[in-house]
Amino acid sequence: MINNPDNDNATDSPMVFIVIAKAYEVEGGEGIDLHVMVAAPDDDSAVRATLNALSEEGFLEADLDQIGMVTEMPDEEPHASAYQGALEGEVAIIRFG
């Protein structure tokens, strides 16, 4: 009997997602390009956590363009720090422009 089936979707480490988005601080204003890194059990939870964090930061609206899983620690800043923050339970928001 197999107690722990081998599943390709199971990972040894937490799943860290990156969400690429454009968010708006004022209605009709210019959008701000963002990358959001968050640890979550699935992509739906990652999207929910991203939207909640953006709302808490004062963004009124956000267009989520892409979501993907980060499979290893990024080499360069600011993504390396954001990845570490996500592993520690934070929702890391990286602003561009």
- Give residue-wise pLDDT tens across range 65-79: 999 999 999 999 999
For the chain of 97 residues, list the mean pLDDT of each consecutive stretch of 10: 48 85 94 97 97 97 97 96 97 94
Please check whether residue 67 is in contact with residue 18, taking contact to mean a CB–CB distance below 8 angstroms. yes
Query: pTM for the full model?
Result: 0.84
> Which residues have C-beta within 8 Å of that of residue 84, sequence separation ≥ 6?
73
- Any idea where the domains of the chain sit in the sequence? 16-96
The whole-number pLDDT of residue 12 equals 62
